[in-house]
Structure 1
């Protein structure tokens, strides 16, 4: 592809570098905090090789065989990816808590359809999923980006080839080659530039979504393809030492990104230019006439580097599920050195086996050489992964069904004299006592344990995060009396209780809630900038309250511990409540639900878990801020509802209250428990 050398041994070394950086980052080595840029290096290498092959085919034959291309991709990508997905789905069902196993099974199916980047973009941007551990197959997002990219690019290059053949006619090979190179460079350059511009824009506005976005990543593969187009069929003339300098410059850029970037770096955007340009420089340097005499070319071509480069695809596929499942199995958020060593040995052993027993037989074997047979690997892979997912889910469901006969918790299980006279509080106290006795997890809990994470309060057409400004009356929509609930996700999780109150007592209920955007006069900052969408929503919500003139406004906010919010949110709350006072008949605030060290649903579905294993103490810092909230509300002569008594007793919070799981994650109330608290909440708010 580049001059006289058809095989680039240094590229295997670059692959080894890329996968090594990714493994170091995911293994928790702080000095390689930016090792995730290895994925960017992989993208450049992929574009360089794959687009280079397509350009050569277009130049040599005047056409591109789409079927041959997808047959090669199927043999290269699908077998190993399928094996890892199947093994991971089965292992996750055994190792992970059942709630998380279900999510991993879903993730595996998305990955099999090459939609993992879409799945994880949705999950990562879901406010209620934030803070959850990453999926063992989250790294498949990059494979999905590549395959989505290679749906469009071969077709685009085919059109270029057909146009060139029509334009060049019987022109000599050299003339056609030049025309192909120029045309591809212009067309691919336009695509790459458009993607880069989009990447910069979307990364600035929504870095999480940008990270998984194919349009925001396409330019990285495109730059690799442009480099291949420039050097295709010729070796640029460059002496040894200039080539060495080019190699070194590229390596320095990748190393700098590895050492300086971390999880706070907004990627891809302009930051990704550093490792991407570094990879391009090294690939171009390896294409020059002086490449083979340089020290760095020889370094990247040594036998160990070539071996790791050969295994790099399998290493990439295996490393993340092994590391994540090892952390879960040993219950270590950061693996100890002995356990990390064991995990690394397992990663390399599985990768070697995968390379020799799966990758090579499918890529080099005669059986899968016919292109139509190779293309059937796509549906075969889907069938295998979906069948495994269904089987794993059935096994998870069977384990949950084993709990069906376990008794629930009742106040009558314990002496009445030892419990509160308030029935809701008494049930919490009884549930703490049941946990102290280490009773088994009750059967028939609500929400079902397999669906705890999905118990999010519905907003109908009025999810204001989407930008809508509709009004959606809940409760009794035709009632003359009105309740408004305002705040962030903690106001949202109380909305089912207020909806039930409205239905029973005759109130139309409006939920002006926006996750992450508390009802205070202080606007949160995101990435150092004021969150304008939040500020605009709060102003609009205040105007709606003024027009509705509600009988009751109920505020509920999370307690934020960022430096800015911790310093300003109490004063901002006071100002907000004073703004609301003249706009409503009464103003009240519901205190926070507790924030726990772990999600109850995750604990309850862990291997061999009992109620005692899942009895937790709330995090104290949040409680202290809520005390300040309560004092502020009461100083203003408004109603303060301390919700802690409905979740914890004597500083301990049970994972199941009666037969209800109170929290869907570490702090948000389930729809079922909020609805159950409608009566106690109405009494606390003075609603009769």
Structure 2
């Protein structure tokens, strides 16, 4: 973990330092799987690039099992002794209950929330329980040589089938996880010393890899991430080089770290525990220090509009852009430069259905503005909040991840996004109670939804709002990026440019607004792009914090231009 943290500082964009440091801490404390589970169901976090310690999620589950299992084992043996049961039978029963309960949870949760089910402990612990049952039953297992061979071949074929048949779209773990897990169990049983080795597993290359499997597990992923950060895509030759590098580093780690620790002859029985605890402490301290250092870096929004940071004025007013000026926000803060509604926890995540909005602007104002929509509406909150404060208006926000304002069925992992429909109607009911003067909407284009259905859904919602006396300002969706600016800006910001024709979506809002009175469509894309290109940086201010969301800083810089375009 310490080497990976150092490698992150050397090879990975500053924009990923803080998140990687947080994941290093989670990995050192063996809770990485829970951190990744939270990110997997977080619309914004799910889009982040994989970290060099992402693979520690499985090790975290193992260590959690190792902490709980001894306690459960002692309690089971105590109960067996009191009741006169066989200790082995009691442990077998307990492991069987754990296996059945965990597998049932895995199947149920994989159907309802596969992203969460993939990482959480209780959907995975059955796999470890199966290993425990295997250990308890091998002494009583005496297969024939033919049976042993058949088990080994079947196990290896099951593992191979999993690698070939499963893809990113496979619902996993659930029942499908039985295939590789049972395959591994068959191979272990066939190769056990207690039942006689299967000679097919005695191949020198397999034994070499098996001895170093833990080291390979630890080192392969950081090497891939660091290499990709420097080279971009990974081709066949790159893959071969990475395999060679992984084997070389893993061999050194196996010989001089893993084996050295295993065969250490320290006179102190507690020495391994002391050393391990100290290493965890150093790791957490160093990663925590990096998080603290990044957090302390300010985003000085008072610089917006100054000669050094003209921002959108560079496109709209031909303002001179000085060279050699540090970017705003700093590269290390781009990913966390989000609207305040995220830190205030009033931007609903995908599971939420409550239409609880943020109260911003001027709380004593006599006029009320509402912002409603998905994260592409939420990205405009810094600009609208600035406008509301300047004009002494109230601002109320109703925003939810991946949930557009339009009345149309949105799919989430191929299933109807029911939480979105419930939240939308609750939000519209709250707007009816508020009786705002103005409602601002914006949204992503949702390419999986039929164009006509999207347009009719927008007209339905807008008509409902305007019939209540409010004016609607619909902001056209902003262009996306073909690359992640957090990676591109590390090398040469001048080359971080998208062709406008490839990243600007169809203006659905303009089409939908034609037949709805009281709706004004505002197109701010000329403040993000020149005639032909959409750069990652405009006027020394970073435009996007990921592939398709404005930085809060650039949104704030757009406030006066949005006010003018919307007639506010």
TM-score (norm: length of structure 2):
0.90
Q: Displacement of 1:639 after TM fit?
A: 0.5
Aligned length: 561
Aligned to 2:511: 631
Give the Cα–Cα distance (whole angstroms) in 2 for the partners of residues 413 and 116 of structure 1: 41
Q: Displacement of 1:213 after TM fit?
A: 0.7
Aligned mate of 2:430, from 535, 541, 544:
544
Aligned to 2:135: 228
**Deviations, residues 638-669 of structure 1 (Å, cap 9, x unaligned):** 20110102211223233333343232112212
RMSD in angstroms over aligned alpha carbons?
Answer: 3.0
1:615 and 2:514 are equivalent in the alignment: no
Aligned to 2:56: 140
Give the Cα–Cα distance (whole angstroms) in 1 for the partners of residues 295 and 400 of structure 2: 34
Q: Displacement of 1:116 after TM fit?
A: 1.5
1:675 and 2:562 are equivalent in the alignment: no
Contact 2:305 2:311 in 1 (8 A): no
Aligned mate of 1:660, from 541, 561, 564:
541
Q: Displacement of 1:412 after TM fit?
A: 6.8
Q: Displacement of 1:525 after TM fit?
A: 1.1
Aligned to 2:14: 98
Change (3 A) 1:397 1:338: farther
Q: Displacement of 1:392 after TM fit?
A: 6.5
Contact 1:432 1:615 in 2 (8 A): no
Aligned to 1:58: none
**Deviations, residues 203-234 of structure 1 (Å, cap 9, x unaligned):** 22221122111111111101111122222xx2
Contact 1:432 1:653 in 2 (8 A): no
Could you say what secondary structure the match of 1:519 adopts?
A: coil
Aligned to 1:485: 371
Give the Cα–Cα distance (whole angstroms) in 2 for the partners of residues 410 and 469 of structure 1: 35
1:462 and 2:346 are equivalent in the alignment: yes
* Segment of structure 1 superposing worse, 195-204 or 385-394: 385-394
1:88 and 2:7 are equivalent in the alignment: no
Q: Displacement of 1:343 after TM fit?
A: 1.4
Give the Cα–Cα distance (whole angstroms) in 2 for the partners of residues 291 and 447 of structure 1: 63
Change (3 A) 1:220 1:424: closer
Q: Displacement of 1:141 after TM fit?
A: 0.8
Could you say what secondary structure the match of 1:578 adopts?
A: helix
Aligned to 2:421: 535
Q: Displacement of 1:119 after TM fit?
A: 2.2
Aligned to 2:175: 270
Change (3 A) 1:618 1:153: farther
1:583 and 2:465 are equivalent in the alignment: no
Aligned mate of 2:250, from 332, 346, 351:
351
Aligned to 1:203: 110
Aligned mate of 1:257, from 162, 178, 182:
162
Give the Cα–Cα distance (whole angstroms) in 2 for the partners of residues 331 and 432 of structure 1: 34
Contact 1:519 1:576 in 2 (8 A): yes
Contact 1:553 1:584 in 2 (8 A): no
Q: Displacement of 1:379 after TM fit?
A: 2.1
Change (3 A) 1:241 1:573: same
Aligned to 1:5: none
Query: Superposed, which structure 2 residues align to 1:44-443 within 5 Å?
Result: 85-168=1-84, 179-231=86-138, 234-286=139-191, 291-292=196-197, 297-332=198-233, 335-367=234-266, 370-386=268-284, 388-389=286-287, 425-428=312-315, 434=321, 439-440=323-324, 442-443=325-326
Contact 2:354 2:426 in 1 (8 A): no
Contact 1:90 1:392 in 2 (8 A): no
Q: Displacement of 1:566 after TM fit?
A: 5.4
Q: Greater CA radius of gyration, 1 or 2?
A: 1
Change (3 A) 1:588 1:142: same
Aligned to 1:23: none
**Deviations, residues 432-465 of structure 1 (Å, cap 9, x unaligned):** 9759xxx43x23x443332111122122353333
Q: Displacement of 1:374 after TM fit?
A: 1.1
**Any unmatched runs of 5+ in structure 1?**
1-84, 169-177, 415-422
Structure number with greater CO (CA < 8 Å, separation at least 6) is 1
Contact 1:89 1:392 in 2 (8 A): no
Give the Cα–Cα distance (whole angstroms) in 2 for the partners of residues 373 and 582 of structure 1: 75
* Segment of structure 1 superposing worse, 587-596 or 308-317: 587-596
Give the Cα–Cα distance (whole angstroms) in 1 for the partners of residues 521 and 57 of structure 2: 46
1:595 and 2:480 are equivalent in the alignment: yes
Contact 1:236 1:287 in 2 (8 A): no
Could you say what secondary structure the match of 1:120 adopts?
A: helix
Q: Displacement of 1:235 after TM fit?
A: 4.1
Aligned to 1:173: none
Contact 1:428 1:654 in 2 (8 A): no
Give the Cα–Cα distance (whole angstroms) in 2 for the partners of residues 301 and 565 of structure 1: 57
Aligned to 1:650: 531
Give the Cα–Cα distance (whole angstroms) in 2 for the partners of residues 410 and 553 of structure 1: 27
Structure 1 or 2: more helix by fraction: 1
